[in-house]
């Protein structure tokens, strides 16, 4: 029996999504050897719903509540919350609840849970309302009591306490909405700036996280927007809405639907004297579009006000200094223990690395002040203080949260690992501390005392589980095998309690296996820590953890069996592609995933595809593998071979799965060459110019390689449906040592980014994944097709000899007659374990909890290890010759070739045997039926047209027509004065006045048909004319002119994509709009690619990305100045080119943003010549200007002293 812990999440507040993320984290990390989690959702009506636990793996609350199929339709994918449903009758609301769980009456909570973990932020949680109800039900809960929560949820009451206790805080000013509406905004701004000083921040009193910074640059307009935002009000000028495109309009509505950053729905829309309650985002979009199309509203403004408003806004002085977060926990002796202070996770140094820890002196000062703050506000159990250390070393606090967020990226979550606690142990400490506080408030409450005794008994009986290593790649660029997957695995295992996971970072060198145990803080937060927790903090680990702890740092592979009793391998990168498995097999240490031979093939994309093609006859996409020597021997032939196999666009894929990059699309020959040269580049070369051609973002890397793999983009062809699918499988051994494969239901995956618009029938962006994938409308056909796919998946897994969890990617064509063609695109022997990963979704579909599955996989690995030992012993004693399929490696591969899908032609051979009996010959009969009728009709028609009377009438008709034509032509010439026309002069380029004068001289009239503004053209200049010059028309006819306008139209500036954009691309957009662009200055920024736009300047005014989003119009023909980034200071190190081939030297110069100057060679410069001299000569530390020339001297033989390699 375990303690049932109700995890309360959701609520009516704007922080419900944050609350859901916190509740999910509590659920996933809760120690299941002590507690049984019970997920309880609180809806906006403050009703309790017992959630289906599988819904906690959804990406957000909005994804499942309300259920998507019960919501009004949204064609643009707007997020919709339950308020958009309106006031539903109880019967209809019950339908909403049934899709997510079941309703629980408050009085029934005591039968469902023994203890409550409150993950609610904002209203109903942080203000103590739920705690009051739980006190009445005698259910203990985490955090502080209702009165303390109520005081700390009100910033005014909290600051009164802080002032009374002498706790420093920044200057602030509260602003009620009635006061704001009744005063002049300019006066309020001046008063605030005078009282608080600039800069200061504005935020709703109920949500300090939604803060807007006000400084001198922001000005009055920005201040008004910030205050309106703090009151959750938005003003939209109709003229601005008219200037926005459809995409920007939908994007702005999507922003407004965000409960935290926007307004949320429903909203009250007001314009002139009209008011309407809008519940649905698309309803608001239609309303604004209608107003924009009505000229009567062109100069008006539509006001939107949330139905979840804030009564007060706070204006607080923004101090200059270093912000921090500080977690605090109450000790048994009623004193507070302050954890080590953390910097905000978004804080980075100029080099892009996280900020270091506070020094010991500052840290102790913050902790001491935090304890005083915690004690002054009377918090129980735990809390999170936020503040700032100003430039003079003074400490100011501005918030103390009684129920801080507990999502993985939150400072409160990371505070536990910072002192060495795993998240599971951290939660256990919070529960035990809170239960002690509840018992201290109600010492006579027997249920509380009994619960504490039972928890202590469970804790005493708990033993340290066996250690299991979780090996991962510490590089986050290695796809889903990055630290995130390892964190998920460690999270599941630690909470399950069958094993004590130890994360182990694996080095990337396949020839030298290096292992390192990270600190808990660096593992869970990807940040490093320089301060060690002191003794009081270390003592907190004792009542929270029963697991053995191991010192962090590097260790030898030979010591691994002493640390762990087995290994979970979460990555296939580097040594985990076979080398690590071989070492573990030699040490007889159990490990998850495929054996060494199978891992070598499964992690190599071309090898695995070739294996499936040759030995299993499975369809795969067409691919081509080429090598660096082939490229060096003849580059042009190399490119011709690629282009002969594929048409643009096509893909380049990484050879090793989980490499630094996975897939890149090649659209033209220039990109093909750039990618090839980047892949085959010399060591230490960056290839900046080629990165630009491929449009790689900062951080994206193309690894150096000796091979490149090209692959076709698979298209639907003539199929009715084209689906990308994930198919997961779990492989284990039965009691006799045979491989058993459990293939999971096919999952429809999202359209690959490189195949947008290629006809895929897949999951759209924002939609939930479809499982099982819909393959046919017919139930019987669905079953047949699904079983066929599963059969192909099992065939591939058995052939590859994979063990444990596997994920396969298929591309499936389904034709009209339910015929299916499946192409196996990829195989992942080390799948991801995050909630959004396909394997997790497929396990949930089978009601399998991932933590339990992981524990079973480790048990299977131990069992496999036992079978391997028995097999080895039996083979040694010559008792059996059986080789298990999971131990045998696939046959060595032949050299790779281009694989093309072959369609075998099947035909019936004509029989060479005479018939056994002669056939009876029928007499020829006259045609009857339709054939006979058609023959009669043809003969009748021929007799008619060949008759004499028809031919006489036909000749007479032709003669009559010819005479009539001659008479009509003569009369028209006489009436229209044919041949008396005048040639039209070319008036283009003349002024309108000059053209009019010259036209009248020839008896013509000119009429202005259109006017167009063209940059650089004088007003009233003739641009075009009809009729065209040199044509002939009669006198007194009109000539229609198009002239240049003198008034430039206003042109809206396009938004900056993602908040920034490349200058070259953006200037091209402006050029098409008739706007000039110029770079005013360049600012250094190491995080951005060169020429990334930082901001714009027009007419002396700075224009930011936010300004462009609101809409900025400029006259056509204007010039916009740009401030762009530069990643270097204008100089680069001179490379050492001596001993390199000419091609390598030229590449290295281009990569270094230098230019090949004069080339002195014996004959024509070619790739086979070597550099024996360069000008300027190489000198370590010598700098050259970007774009400077370097002269090369070449020779046919390698210079003396050069390394042959």
Question: With 80 as the cut, is the pLDDT of residue 161 above it?
Answer: yes
CB of 42 within 8 A of CB of 48?
A: yes
DSSP line for 400-469: EESS---STTSHHHHHHHHTT--HHHHHHHHHHHHHHHHHHH-TT-HHHHHHHHHHHHHHHH--PPPEEE
Instruction: List C-alpha distances in Å: 77 to 73, 250, 661, 765, 766.
Output: 9, 10, 30, 8, 7
State pLDDT tens for residues 428-460: 999 999 999 999 999 888 999 999 999 999 988
Residue 310's pLDDT band (boundaries 50, 70, 90)?
A: confident
Residue 38's pLDDT band (boundaries 50, 70, 90)?
A: very high
The overall average pLDDT reported for the chain is: 81
Question: With 50 as the cut, is the pLDDT of residue 558 above it?
Answer: yes
pLDDT for 1124 equals: 85
DSSP line for 369-403: HHHHHHHHTT--SEEEEEEEEETTS-EEEEEEESS
- Residues belonging to the chain: 1205
Q: Which helix (H) or strand (E) holds 487?
A: helix 483-496
Give me the mean pLDDT over the 1136-1148 stretch: 85
pLDDT for 530 equals: 60
Question: With 90 as the cut, is the pLDDT of residue 108 above it?
Answer: yes
Residue 807's pLDDT band (boundaries 50, 70, 90)?
A: very high
How far is residue 1137 CA from its own chain's centroid?
Answer: 41
State pLDDT tens for residues 1149-1171: 877 778 888 888 887 777 778 89
Give me the mean pLDDT over the 53-61 stretch: 89
Give me the mean pLDDT over the 781-806 stretch: 90
Give me the mean pLDDT over the 12-37 stretch: 92
Question: With 90 as the cut, is the pLDDT of residue 140 above it?
Answer: yes
Q: Which of 160-164, 1080-1084, 1144-1148 has the lowest mean pLDDT?
A: 1080-1084
Instruction: List C-alpha distances in Å: 204 to 228, 312, 313, 1165.
Output: 10, 6, 4, 70
Q: Which stretch, 89-93, 188-192, 1016-1020, 1161-1165, has highest mean pLDDT? A: 188-192
Give me the mean pLDDT over the 849-859 stretch: 91
pLDDT for 249 equals: 87
Give me the mean pLDDT over the 694-701 stretch: 76
Give me the mean pLDDT over the 622-650 stretch: 90
Give me the mean pLDDT over the 1026-1038 stretch: 79
State pLDDT tens for residues 683-693: 777 777 788 88
pLDDT for 367 equals: 92
Other CB atoms within 10 A of residue 9 CB? 28
Question: With 90 as the cut, is the pLDDT of residue 50 above it?
Answer: yes
pLDDT for 1083 equals: 78
3-state SS class at 767: coil
pLDDT for 997 equals: 82
Work out the percent of the chain whose per-residue pLDDT is above 90.
21
Q: Which of 493-497, 723-727, 1046-1050 has the lowest mean pLDDT?
A: 1046-1050
Residue 946's pLDDT band (boundaries 50, 70, 90)?
A: low
- Judging by beta carbons within 10 Å of its beta carbon (0-12, 13-18, 19+), is residue 993 exposed, middle or buried? exposed
708-741 burial, b for 16+ CB within 10 Å, e for fewer?
Answer: bbbbbbbebeebebbbbbbbbbbbbbeeebebeb
pLDDT for 974 equals: 58
Work out the percent of the chain whose per-residue pLDDT is above 70.
85
Residue 975's pLDDT band (boundaries 50, 70, 90)?
A: low
Question: With 80 as the cut, is the pLDDT of residue 275 above it?
Answer: yes
CA distance 18 to 261: 12
pLDDT for 758 equals: 39
CA distance 680 to 628: 6
pLDDT for 986 equals: 86
Rg (C-alpha) for the chain, rounded Å, is 38
pLDDT for 1069 equals: 84
Residue 941's pLDDT band (boundaries 50, 70, 90)?
A: low
Alpha-helical (H) ranges within 893-1041 are 929-945, 948-976, 992-1001
Read off the tokens for 195. 């009282």
Question: With 70 as the cut, is the pLDDT of residue 645 above it?
Answer: yes
Residue 550's pLDDT band (boundaries 50, 70, 90)?
A: low
Question: With 70 as the cut, is the pLDDT of residue 1145 above it?
Answer: yes
pLDDT for 900 equals: 37
Q: Which of 85-99, 699-713, 831-845 has the lowest mean pLDDT?
A: 85-99
pLDDT for 942 equals: 65
Higher-pLDDT residue of 964 and 236 is 236
Give me the mean pLDDT over the 209-213 stretch: 83
pTM exceeds 0.85, yes or no: no
Question: With 70 as the cut, is the pLDDT of residue 901 above it?
Answer: no
Q: Which stretch, 71-80, 700-709, 933-942, has highest mean pLDDT? A: 700-709
Question: With 90 as the cut, is the pLDDT of residue 383 above it?
Answer: yes
Residue 351's pLDDT band (boundaries 50, 70, 90)?
A: very low
Give me the mean pLDDT over the 174-182 stretch: 88
Residue 348's pLDDT band (boundaries 50, 70, 90)?
A: very low
Give me the mean pLDDT over the 208-222 stretch: 83
Q: Which of 325-334, 335-344, 396-405, 544-553 has the lowest mean pLDDT?
A: 544-553
CB of 320 within 8 A of CB of 243?
A: no
Residue 40's pLDDT band (boundaries 50, 70, 90)?
A: very high
CA distance 782 to 162: 66
pLDDT for 431 equals: 94
Higher-pLDDT residue of 1003 and 314 is 314
């Amino acid at each position: 029996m375990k303690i049932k812990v109700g995890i309360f999440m959701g609520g009516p507040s704007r922080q419900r999504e944050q609350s859901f993320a916190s509740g999910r984290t509590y659920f996933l990390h809760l120690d299941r050897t002590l507690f049984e989690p019970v997920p309880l959702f609180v809806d906006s009506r403050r009703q309790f719903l017992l959630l289906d636990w599988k819904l906690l793996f959804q990406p957000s609350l909005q994804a499942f509540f309300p259920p998507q199929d019960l919501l009004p339709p949204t064609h643009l994918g707007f997020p919709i919350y339950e308020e958009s449903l309106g006031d539903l009758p109880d019967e209809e609301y019950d339908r909403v609840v049934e899709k997510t769980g079941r309703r629980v009456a408050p009085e029934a909570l005591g039968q469902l849970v023994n203890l409550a973990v409150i993950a609610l932020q904002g209203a109903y949680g942080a203000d103590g309302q739920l705690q009051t109800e739980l006190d009445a039900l005698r259910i203990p809960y985490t955090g502080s009591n209702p009165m303390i929560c109520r005081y700390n949820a009100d910033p005014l009451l909290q600051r009164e306490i802080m002032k009374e206790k002498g706790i420093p805080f920044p200057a602030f000013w509260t602003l009620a909405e009635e006061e704001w509406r009744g005063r002049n905004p300019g006066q309020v701004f001046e008063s605030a700036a005078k009282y608080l000083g600039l800069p200061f921040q504005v935020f709703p009193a109920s949500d300090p996280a939604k803060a807007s910074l006000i400084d001198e640059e922001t000005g009055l307009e920005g201040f008004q927007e910030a205050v309106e935002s703090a009151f959750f009000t938005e003003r939209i000028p109709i003229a601005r809405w008219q200037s926005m495109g459809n995409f920007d309009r939908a994007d702005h509505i999507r922003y407004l639907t965000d409960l935290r950053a926007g307004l949320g729905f429903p909203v009250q829309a007001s314009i002139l004297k009209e008011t309407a309650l809008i519940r649905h985002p698309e309803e608001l979009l239609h309303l604004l579009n209608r107003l924009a199309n009505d000229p009567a509203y062109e100069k008006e403004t539509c006001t939107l006000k949330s139905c979840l408003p804030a009564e007060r806004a706070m204006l607080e002085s923004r101090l200059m200094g270093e912000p921090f977060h500080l977690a605090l926990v109450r000790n048994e002796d009623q004193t507070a223990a302050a954890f080590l202070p953390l910097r905000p996770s978004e804080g980075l140094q100029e080099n892009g690395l996280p900020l270091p820890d506070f020094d010991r002196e500052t840290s102790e000062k913050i902790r001491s002040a935090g304890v005083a703050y915690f004690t002054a506000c009377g918090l129980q159990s735990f809390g999170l203080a936020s503040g700032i250390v100003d430039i003079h070393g003074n400490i100011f606090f501005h918030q103390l949260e009684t129920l801080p967020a507990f999502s993985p990226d939150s400072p409160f979550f990371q505070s536990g690992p910072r002192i060495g606690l795993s998240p599971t142990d951290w939660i256990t400490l919070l529960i035990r501390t809170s239960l002690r506080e509840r018992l201290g408030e109600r010492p006579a409450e027997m249920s509380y005392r009994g619960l504490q005794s039972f928890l202590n008994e469970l804790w005493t009986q708990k033993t340290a589980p066996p250690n299991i290593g979780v090996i991962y790649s510490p590089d986050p660029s290695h796809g889903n095998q990055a630290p995130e997957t390892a964190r998920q695995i460690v999270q599941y295992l630690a909470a399950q309690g069958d094993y004590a996971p130890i994360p182990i970072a694996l080095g990337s060198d396949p020839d030298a296996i290096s292992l390192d145990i990270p600190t808990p803080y660096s593992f869970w937060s990807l940040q490093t820590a320089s301060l060690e927790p002191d003794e009081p903090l270390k003592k907190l680990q004792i009542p929270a953890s029963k697991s053995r702890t191991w010192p962090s740092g590097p260790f030898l592979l030979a010591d691994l069996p002493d640390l762990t009793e087995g290994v979970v391998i979460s990555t296939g990168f580097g040594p985990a592609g076979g080398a690590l498995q071989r070492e573990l097999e030699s040490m007889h240490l159990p490990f998850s995933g495929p054996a060494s031979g199978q891992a070598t093939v499964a992690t190599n994309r071309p090898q695995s595809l070739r294996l499936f093609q040759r030995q299993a006859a499975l369809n795969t996409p067409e691919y081509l593998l080429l090598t660096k020597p082939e490229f060096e021997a003849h580059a042009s032939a190399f490119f011709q071979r690629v282009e002969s196999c594929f048409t643009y666009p096509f893909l380049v894929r990484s050879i090793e799965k989980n490499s630094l990059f996975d897939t890149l699309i090649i659209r033209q020959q220039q990109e093909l060459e750039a990618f090839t040269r980047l892949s085959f580049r010399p060591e230490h070369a960056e290839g900046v110019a080629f990165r630009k051609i491929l449009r790689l973002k900062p951080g994206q890397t193309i690894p150096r390689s000796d091979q490149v793999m090209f692959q076709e983009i698979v298209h639907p062809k003539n199929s009715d449906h084209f689906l990308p699918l994930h198919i997961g499988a779990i492989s284990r051994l039965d009691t006799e040592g045979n491989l058993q494969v459990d293939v999971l239901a096919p999952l429809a995956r999202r359209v690959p980014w490189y195949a947008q618009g290629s006809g895929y029938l897949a999951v759209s962006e924002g939609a939930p994944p479809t499982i099982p994938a819909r393959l046919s409308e017919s139930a019987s056909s669905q079953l047949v097709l699904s079983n066929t796919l599963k059969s192909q998946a099992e065939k591939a897994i058995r052939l590859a000899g994979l063990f444990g969890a596997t994920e396969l990617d298929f591309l499936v064509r389904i034709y009209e007659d339910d015929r299916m063609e499946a192409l196996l695109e990829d195989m992942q022997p080390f799948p991801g374990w995050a909630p959004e990963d396909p394997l997790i979704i497929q396990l949930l579909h089978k009601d399998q909890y991932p933590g339990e599955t992981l524990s079973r996989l480790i048990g299977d690995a131990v069992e496999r290890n036992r079978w391997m030992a028995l097999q080895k012993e039996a083979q040694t004693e010559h008792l059996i010759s059986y080789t298990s399929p999971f131990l045998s490696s696939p046959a060595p591969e032949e050299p790779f070739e281009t694989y093309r899908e072959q369609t075998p032609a099947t035909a019936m051979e004509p029989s060479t045997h005479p018939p056994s009996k002669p056939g009876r010959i029928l007499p020829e009969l006259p045609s009857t039926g339709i054939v006979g009728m058609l023959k009669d009709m043809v003969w009748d028609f021929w007799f008619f047209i060949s008759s004499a009377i028809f031919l006489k009438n036909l000749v007479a008709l032709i003669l009559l027509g010819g005479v009539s034509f001659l008479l009509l032509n003569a009369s028209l010439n006489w009436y229209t004065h044919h041949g008396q026309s005048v040639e039209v002069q070319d008036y283009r380029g003349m002024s309108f006045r000059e053209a009019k004068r010259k036209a009248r001289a020839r008896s013509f009239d000119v009429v202005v048909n259109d006017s167009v503004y063209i940059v650089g053209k004088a007003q009233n200049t003739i641009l075009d004319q009809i009729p065209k010059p040199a044509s002939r028309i009669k006198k007194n006819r009109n000539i229609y002119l198009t002239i240049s306008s003198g008034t430039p139209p206003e042109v809206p500036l396009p938004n900056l994509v993602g908040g920034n954009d490349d200058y070259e691309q953006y200037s091209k957009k402006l050029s098409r709009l008739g706007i000039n662009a110029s770079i005013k200055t360049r600012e250094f920024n190491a995080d951005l690619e060169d020429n990334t736009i930082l901001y714009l300047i027009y007419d002396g005014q700075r224009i930011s990305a936010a300004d462009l989003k609101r809409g900025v119009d400029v006259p056509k023909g204007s010039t916009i100045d740009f401030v762009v980034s530069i990643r270097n200071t204008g100089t680069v190190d001179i490379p050492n080119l001596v001993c390199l081939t000419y091609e390598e030297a030229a590449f290295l110069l281009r990569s270094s943003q230098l230019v090949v100057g004069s080339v002195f060679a014996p004959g024509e410069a070619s790739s086979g010549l070597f550099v024996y001299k360069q000008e300027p000569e190489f000198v370590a530390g010598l700098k050259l200007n970007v774009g400077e020339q370097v002269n090369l001297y070449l020779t046919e033989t390698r210079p003396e002293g050069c390394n042959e390699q």
